[in-house]
Structure 1
Amino acid sequence: MNDVARLMQAAERAAAAGNFNEARKSFLRVLETGEHAEALVHLSYIESKIGSYRAACDYALRAYALPGLSPALMVKVLNRLRNFNQTSALHELIGRFEPQRLDARQLHAVAAQASYLGDQQRALDLLDLALSRQPANAPVLLARAQINTFLGRFDEAEHDLRDCMMYNKGMAAIWWTLARLRKQTPTSNHVEELRRELKVARPPGERAFLAFALHKELDDLGDIAGAGEALTLGCKLKRSELKYSTAQSRALMARLKAAPMPEVAAGGVDRGFTPVFIVGMFRSGTTLLEQLLGGNPAMLNAGELHDFVTSMRYVADYQSTGFLDEDMVRRAETMDFDEVAEHYVRGVEWRLEPGQTHLTDKLPANFFNIGYILRALPDARILHMVRDPVETCFSNLRELFSGASPYSYDQAELAEFYLMYQDLMAHWHATFPGRILDIHYAELTRDTEGVMRGVASHCGLDFLPTMVDPRSRVQSVATASAVQVRSPVIVREVPKWDPYREYLAPLIRGLGSQAT
């Protein structure tokens, strides 16, 4: 055994024992002999463990830059790059893969990263290759169904899910995905099957998938009482797995409002494109607005990007808890926002194609970061989607998120969070007058052209007739609105929440005057 192998073994033993400082020393000794991809990946994990965000990211980038990575190691590097949202490097490394060298598990892993980048067709191709090797692979079939949903291929998605059930009917996520594909009817639904599956002993998160699916199907069938009961169960199950504190949210909002936020006048450095941040509560219509903006070919619909928050993390050398926390707000007081801007631009500009002058960054929770966005990117445009409070909150309540909104599974907590969000937005408007354009969902659906003319003007875009129909240039949509956005703009005379008025009493009471 050579010296490098002995050092690697010693370092791995130390890391497994939790002795990260000793492991770090041994891995660094390996690097003294030359760049070593496996050691760099280990160091990236160790630096994350000891709280050094920037060093962890840099080690991952050094590993990515090495040629000749084995398939197994490339998958590990991809995971590290994804952790730091290094999307340009992710994109380039995926392009280096030789798919024929990968087994089905590795193909599935790479497909997930391609989907994260928005390259749904590449993800689909990789999954197809995985299935050619393992046709009975239920997780791959489920992933394929999700990709086909993002691409609007709903019949193919349903076929994938049916095949998936043949191999593993117990995967709860299958039922949730299937329920969302279409409106269920009295002659074609899965209600009894879902009720049977809910009786099977499963972890709370798995049962939550089934309960939310049952809620959706009963709602389709007009069984409001049954749908409300299923939603109550789903929310209780999901909430039991999450850590959320209303007091912490309130403290964060207060810290943000008290933080110094000097405005930088627009017209600074030319970044080569105009970022357009679409913010608001989840389920407020942000995806619809993005798709309408995408009707102009000068606009790139980039989807829900995490680049701004990860740019702040990199510059602060700090992994914030959740999307933002009080410590990050404190660190931001001395942060170099020019460096934040440079990091952000490097992270997103690779997505632009010739002729595209604008890019949408549609992560709703960026409403936390409006002050920081305008400091780093003075020429950014901020579009704030506003929807009826009860309708917005009800839509959040009945959506099973992956963890993005832990406040949304309890009516009282959801109402309190909504009021805090609304108060913070009022603060941003007062701090940055004229920099944020509110777009009201009801007006957007009733006078789409009139509203979009104002939006285009605010963004510095020409208005085009193709900006009034979300289907005009719709591409992949990897959000909860993947099904709805394939339809024309819908005007509801009776809000979706109205039949649930009695059920939503705690939410309406919590919203107070905002619910009237």
Structure 2
Amino acid sequence: MTLTPEQQLAEAARLMRCSEYQQAIALNQQVLQQQPANLNAWHMLFELHRLAADYQLLAQAGIQARQQLPEFKAAIQAAYMALRQLQRHPEAIALIQDAIKQYPAWAELQLQLGLLYKETADFAAALTVFNQAIALTPTLYEAYWLRADLLKQPTTTDIAQLRQLLATTALPDNARAQLHYALARALEFQGHYADSFAELNAGAAAKRRSLPYNHAAELAEHQRSSLPFAQLTFDPAGTAEVTPIFICGLPRSGSTLVEQILSSHPAVSAGDEMFELAQATKEVLSQPQQQLPFPLWAASMSEAQWQQLGQCYLERTRHLHANGYFTDKMPLNYKAIGIIAKALPQAKIIHCQRQPMDTLFSCYKQLFADGIAFSYSLTELAEIYQAYQALMRQWRQLLPGRIYQLPYEALILQQQAETASLLQFIGLDWADSCLAFQHNPRAVFTVSSTQVRQPIFSNHIGFWQHYQPQLATLADMLAPDISQYQQQLQLRLNRC
């Protein structure tokens, strides 16, 4: 029986709900062959490619839909998202610039163009278009936060505008958080640290209200993350045609800087923050295993499944393989170190560390996407830090010699020696370009995009001390951790 296009789309929607993405994609493509202007089919095809994390096909679909349907705004957004994910920023910039000519009053396009400029280090252009977005739509609250670290000399008018917007009583929590964090950054640039901290507290409270978060469950996940791996055997670190370099640790611990240095080496491609490991894991797991919480299913995985997981990950990252090495800088992959070591014996694992107070306060003053929900409470940050440290001790016991410890301060204070040691661990020859990482032209997606465009500087070491009165309780909670870290850092510095 031949299905009508409506029936095909209904079946495709059912398959999508069951995660049968490829079959659903095929049905959508059949519909579009018959009805090239079927917007429902295009919308579903975009979503399917996104869910399948196939950004090459998403970019092709978005560009094709835009050519066929020039007024179809969703095609612009689909192509933009895919090109940005693929780090094809020149094409994404050209796409958005063309769309702005078509829709000059669409402020979100200015926002997206500003983000592309920011990620490619054209900070003056980014600030200009963020300001244009705000001029078009003063209630586009995200623009205020995205420009906050570019507005290094905020005026009284800038600050008054933020305060006036915050006086609006009906603001959604996410919008209120963006404005509070933007105002906190502006006040910090002016040296008004106590006032800045008050805005951070208000912003953190607003952001937390917008998020579903179970702190006890997060701590429990840390506590069990290494348990099933204690009974597994691991192949020794080996060599392969392609070597992934996993850079992990708590957010704001220097991971973006490390990736910028490594990707300045001619043999290394930068992957930035990638979800491919989680996607590959989900793809390999059978349904009964998926019902177990992460990562308790690991104990029942066969050797064939582990190999399949590693191969699936490598298939998903194939676009990064040209130079032989590539980075995967998802900070919270420290919880998945057992998975990495088991599925990818050739992988290099780098653990980025930083002084506890600098790490946690830098997390607290950063407005993340929704995935770092523990960063909006100082008490919870301290508890996560201690759970993370306990987990890392367990990984080091299970995988001696597999995890490279890299303190941020050591890298800042003795850049060449630490860079040489890091390259040696990975198995790379020395390259002078790694010392001039600030000239690396790659797009940088993370919140550190402005910082890694500068040479090594020590301004951020001990920056938390500007807020010492406000952070005294946190410092007391972490006193043993701070002492231990300082001792280990001093030993590291004395070694060179």
Same fold (TM over 0.5): yes
Shift of 1:216: 0.3
Unpaired segments ≥5 residues, structure 2: 484-496
Which residue number corresponds to residue 178 of structure 1?
147
Which residue number corresponds to residue 453 of structure 1?
420
Q: Secondary structure at the match of 2:81?
A: helix
- Residue in structure 1 matching 2:297, options 331, 335, 348: 331
Q: How far does the alpha carbon of each residue in 1:101-150 deviate from its partner, in whole angstroms, 9 at most, with x for none?
A: 34334212321222123222222122112111111101111111111111
1:491 has 2:458 as partner: yes
Q: How far does the alpha carbon of each residue in 1:5-46 deviate from its partner, in whole angstroms, 9 at most, with x for none?
A: 4x93xxxxxxxxxxxxxxxxxxxxx5xxxxx5x346412432
Which residue number corresponds to residue 411 of structure 1?
378
CA distance in structure 1 between the partners assigned to 2:74 and 2:55 by the alignment: 22
CA distance in structure 2 between the partners assigned to 1:372 and 1:116 by the alignment: 24
Which residue number corresponds to residue 309 of structure 2?
340
Contact persistence 2:221–2:294 (CA under 8 A)? no
1:43 has 2:14 as partner: yes
Q: How far does the alpha carbon of each residue in 1:192-215 deviate from its partner, in whole angstroms, 9 at most, with x for none?
A: 111111001211111100000000
Which residue number corresponds to residue 490 of structure 2?
none
Shift of 1:87: 3.9
Which residue number corresponds to residue 489 of structure 2?
none
Shift of 1:254: 2.2
CA distance in structure 1 between the partners assigned to 2:263 and 2:121 by the alignment: 16
- Residue in structure 2 matching 1:190, options 143, 154, 158: 158
CA distance in structure 1 between the partners assigned to 2:460 and 2:3 by the alignment: 70
Shift of 1:257: 2.8
When residues 40 and 378 of structure 1 are mapped into structure 2, their CA distance, relative to the original with a 3 A threshold, is farther
When residues 514 and 455 of structure 1 are mapped into structure 2, their CA distance, relative to the original with a 3 A threshold, is same
When residues 44 and 131 of structure 1 are mapped into structure 2, their CA distance, relative to the original with a 3 A threshold, is farther
Q: Secondary structure at the match of 2:341?
A: helix
Shift of 1:505: 2.5
Shift of 1:167: 1.8
CA distance in structure 2 between the partners assigned to 1:40 and 1:287 by the alignment: 43
Matched residue count: 473
* Percentage of identical aligned residues: 25
Q: How far does the alpha carbon of each residue in 1:387-440 deviate from its partner, in whole angstroms, 9 at most, with x for none?
A: 111100011001101112100000001110111111111111110000000111
**TM alignment of 1:374-385, pairs within 5 A:** 374-385=341-352
- Residue in structure 2 matching 1:143, options 102, 112, 119: 112
Contact persistence 2:253–2:359 (CA under 8 A)? yes
- Residue in structure 1 matching 2:21, options 57, 61, 66: 57
Q: How far does the alpha carbon of each residue in 1:72-108 deviate from its partner, in whole angstroms, 9 at most, with x for none?
A: 4344323222223234544554565554634334212
Which residue number corresponds to residue 493 of structure 2?
none
1:266 has 2:236 as partner: yes
Q: How far does the alpha carbon of each residue in 1:338-390 deviate from its partner, in whole angstroms, 9 at most, with x for none?
A: 1111111110012333xx01000111111111001111000000011011111
CA distance in structure 1 between the partners assigned to 2:288 and 2:184 by the alignment: 36
1:438 has 2:402 as partner: no
TM-score using structure 2 length: 0.89
CA distance in structure 2 between the partners assigned to 1:70 and 1:380 by the alignment: 44
- Residue in structure 2 matching 1:79, options 39, 47, 51: 47
Contact persistence 1:108–1:126 (CA under 8 A)? no
Q: Secondary structure at the match of 2:463?
A: coil
CA distance in structure 2 between the partners assigned to 1:477 and 1:416 by the alignment: 30
Which residue number corresponds to residue 308 of structure 1?
277
**TM alignment of 1:129-140, pairs within 5 A:** 129-140=98-109
Contact persistence 2:12–2:25 (CA under 8 A)? no
TM-score using structure 1 length: 0.86
- Residue in structure 1 matching 2:208, options 220, 234, 239: 239
CA distance in structure 1 between the partners assigned to 2:94 and 2:68 by the alignment: 12
Which residue number corresponds to residue 281 of structure 1?
250
Which residue number corresponds to residue 508 of structure 1?
475
Amino acid at match of 2:405: D
Which residue number corresponds to residue 465 of structure 1?
432
Q: Secondary structure at the match of 1:45?
A: helix
CA distance in structure 2 between the partners assigned to 1:456 and 1:224 by the alignment: 39
Which residue number corresponds to residue 214 of structure 1?
183
Contact persistence 1:313–1:320 (CA under 8 A)? no
Contact persistence 2:263–2:269 (CA under 8 A)? yes
CA distance in structure 2 between the partners assigned to 1:465 and 1:269 by the alignment: 24
Could you say what the CA RMSD is over the residues aligned between the two structures, in angstroms? 2.5
CA distance in structure 2 between the partners assigned to 1:319 and 1:93 by the alignment: 34
Q: Secondary structure at the match of 1:470?
A: helix
Q: Secondary structure at the match of 1:402?
A: coil
Shift of 1:220: 0.4
Contact persistence 1:276–1:358 (CA under 8 A)? yes
Q: Secondary structure at the match of 1:308?
A: helix
Q: Secondary structure at the match of 1:437?
A: strand
Shift of 1:493: 7.8
CA distance in structure 2 between the partners assigned to 1:113 and 1:188 by the alignment: 39
Contact persistence 2:351–2:403 (CA under 8 A)? yes
Shift of 1:491: 1.5
Q: Secondary structure at the match of 1:183?
A: coil
After superposing the two structures, state which structure 1 stretch, 506-515 or 426-435, moved more.
506-515
When residues 99 and 285 of structure 1 are mapped into structure 2, their CA distance, relative to the original with a 3 A threshold, is farther
Q: Secondary structure at the match of 2:127?
A: helix
CA distance in structure 1 between the partners assigned to 2:289 and 2:29 by the alignment: 27
Contact persistence 1:88–1:348 (CA under 8 A)? no
